[in-house]
Amino acid sequence: MSKLIGLVAALVVAVAGIGAPGALADPAYKVLVFSKTAGFRHDSIPAGIAAIRDLGTANGFTVEATEDATAFNAANLAGYQAVVFLSTTGDVLDTGQQAAFESYVAAGGGYVGVHAAADTEYDWPFYGGLVGAYFASHPAIQQVTVRVDDPAHPSTAHLPAAWVRTDELYNYRTNPREVAHVLARLDESTYTGGSMGADHPIAWCQNYRGGRSWYTGLGHTQASYAEPAFRAHLLGGIRWAAGVATGDCSGPPPSSAVQAEGFSSQSGVQVVDKASARGGKAIGYVDNADWLGFSGVDTAGATGFSARIASAGAGGTIQVRSGSATGTLLGSVTVPVTGGWETWRSVSTTLAGTGGGPLYLVFTGGAGSLFDIDEFTLTRGPAPTPTPTVTPTPTVSLLSAGRPVTASSTENAGTAAANAVDGNTTTRWSSTFTDPQWISIDLGANRSITRVKLTWEAAYGRAYRIETSTNGTTWTPAYTTTTSDGGTDDLTITPTTARHVRMYGTQRATGYGYSLWEMEVYGT
């Protein structure tokens, strides 16, 4: 019961902005809410604006709302830490306004997309990447279970693992998990009308071209903006996009996919331009018995195959062959009808055959166009390795927890240096608003240092050094950067013997001081 009471209390503080003893307020900042529509207009827009104004009043940020697209100019946008696209629809910005917003994002600005923000600017590729996925369709408003993928992000940390609510539930043209960090998804088994299958993201975030992007597909109904859980969800997204709250929004690892249009030989297919395809092109007009050859893709050791496909035609099968279009069959995968030529899905299969030549993909099925293929990945099994000689490995552990710590300055009594080693990511050390500044940890004895992890608050160091010392007087640089972008800097350093470790900041990224939730030192 005590855990439940604590969760409810935390939710009330987050939504209503009720201060708790020792709570640290965000730096003051401004948010622009943009709700222009050139298509369907949601009657929940006024409720959404009012809710965001309430959140701003309770949580220390200023909200300005507009439907005037001329607000999208460099001078005006520079005053906002985040811009909320609140159920915008259609083409809402002209070319000059789009360019201004692209520059704003590139300079570190934050974007928050709510619901129909995914039904906006279909002909602007930058925006398509920023929002993460475009709207495809939706069933009737109904109850759904939302499954939380990231229980740590400020926009989902307050939610139960299974969040039951009622809303209009979007299907998307592509799965944003391919490009973004998914925060929550819809459980399609709990409602009717979903078209994305077992993996149906509904909220996600990403670091995008220098800025931050957070999106939620929820928020269609007026009632949504009166729900404490949804309001806290929205607040967490705004705070993260504005850069005042931390959260892991790293995307998927870089793709090793091969673009299908990069073939070396082919029969029957055509390269087609597609804005929704990776690289803007795909293979289309695929008929029965057509094929593609890839002289630079060796099938040796291949154990799996996956491809990104779309079909409003007949669907069919992709055969994976080695050496030629009639060579050894390694495996095959069924391609379903996805519902549209812009509705992409991923299909995959294991490969049981043994190959040793270039890759060929052979397409089979009924009459007419079968499907389009955008890109594919060939998975290879691990290479055999000799059995290693087992030697004891020293255990790497956290060395800095609770150790004595000193700093060049503190902003105030509530931001003492010891807060950076207390293991509590809601307390912080912050310095006065000048350069340079430092914070130093005494490990008590010489230890072998291999890793330092800095978890920055919104006020972070753009340029700093990690320095080590055996005596606390003579310091040696172990790591140097001039391009930190805040968040979490998890640094692996060459093993160094030292008793003292410090962060020495030489350039602040904001007008505030240096501010660390935690500084962790690892080693043996």
Rounded Cα gap, residues 271 and 261, in angstroms: 6
Helix (H, G, I), strand (E, B) or coil at 13: helix
Q: Is the pLDDT of residue 101 over 70?
A: yes
Q: What is the tens place of the pLDDT at every residue in 21-36? A: 334 578 999 999 999 9
What is residue 215's predicted lDDT score, i.e. its pLDDT? Answer: 98
Q: Is 79 exposed, middle or buried (0-12, 13-18, 19+ CB in 10 A)?
A: exposed
**Phi and psi, residue 286, nearest 5°:** -85, 120
Within 10 Å of residue 102's Cβ, how many Cβ atoms? 18
Q: Is the pLDDT of residue 207 over 60?
A: yes
Taking residues 433-458, report their average pLDDT: 93
What is residue 479's predicted lDDT score, i.e. its pLDDT? Answer: 92
- In 3D space, the residue among 39, 115, 106 whose CA is nearest the CA of residue 84 turns out to be 115
Q: Which two tokens stand for residue 403?
A: 């150790």
What is residue 253's predicted lDDT score, i.e. its pLDDT? Answer: 57
What is residue 254's predicted lDDT score, i.e. its pLDDT? Answer: 54
Q: Which amino acid is at 17?
A: G
**286: confidence class by pLDDT, cuts 50, 70, 90:** very high
Q: Which residues on neighbouring strands pair with residue 397, listed in sequence order? A: 523
Q: Is the pLDDT of residue 221 over 50?
A: yes
**256: confidence class by pLDDT, cuts 50, 70, 90:** low
Q: What is the tens place of the pLDDT at every residue in 185-203? A: 999 899 999 988 888 999 9
Rounded Cα gap, residues 260 and 254, in angstroms: 17
Rounded Cα gap, residues 159 and 147, in angstroms: 9
Taking residues 395-400, report their average pLDDT: 83
Q: Which residues on neighbouring strands pair with residue 272, listed in sequence order? A: 282
Contact between 251 and 204 (Cβ < 8 Å): no
**15: confidence class by pLDDT, cuts 50, 70, 90:** very low
**159: confidence class by pLDDT, cuts 50, 70, 90:** very high
Strands 270-273 and 265-267: unpaired
- In 3D space, the residue among 26, 27, 46, 25 whose CA is nearest the CA of residue 35 turns out to be 46
Average pLDDT, the chain: 88
- In 3D space, the residue among 40, 133, 166, 145 whose CA is nearest the CA of residue 92 turns out to be 40
What is residue 14's predicted lDDT score, i.e. its pLDDT? Answer: 43
Q: Is the pLDDT of residue 272 over 60?
A: yes
What is residue 41's predicted lDDT score, i.e. its pLDDT? Answer: 96
Q: Which two tokens stand for residue 53?
A: 């104004």
Taking residues 123-146, report their average pLDDT: 94
Q: Is the pLDDT of residue 20 over 60?
A: no
Contact between 500 and 441 (Cβ < 8 Å): yes
Distances in Å between the alpha carbon of 121 and those of 150, 209, 211, 217? Answer: 28, 18, 19, 16
What is residue 50's predicted lDDT score, i.e. its pLDDT? Answer: 97
**Phi and psi, residue 55, nearest 5°:** -65, -40
Rounded Cα gap, residues 60 and 475, in angstroms: 40
Q: Is 12 left (phi over 0), alpha (psi -120 to 50) or beta?
A: alpha
Helix (H, G, I), strand (E, B) or coil at 280: helix
Q: What is the tens place of the pLDDT at every residue in 49-73? A: 999 999 999 999 999 999 999 999 9
Distances in Å between the alpha carbon of 88 and those of 116, 334, 470? Answer: 6, 38, 58
What is residue 8's predicted lDDT score, i.e. its pLDDT? Answer: 38
Q: Which two tokens stand for residue 32?
A: 């622009």
What is residue 524's predicted lDDT score, i.e. its pLDDT? Answer: 86
What is residue 47's predicted lDDT score, i.e. its pLDDT? Answer: 97
End-to-end Cα distance, the chain: 40
Taking residues 213-235, report their average pLDDT: 98
Rounded Cα gap, residues 331 and 349, in angstroms: 7
CA 49 vs. chain centroid, Å, equals: 25
Share of the chain above pLDDT 70, in %: 92
Q: What is the tens place of the pLDDT at every residue in 233-255? A: 999 999 999 999 999 998 765 55
The C-alpha angle 12, 13, 19, rounded to 5 degrees, equals 145
Q: What is the tens place of the pLDDT at every residue in 433-445? A: 999 999 999 999 9
Number of H helices, E strands in the chain: 6, 30
H-assigned helices in 42-147: 45-59, 74-77, 95-106, 125-131
Q: Is the pLDDT of residue 301 over 90?
A: no
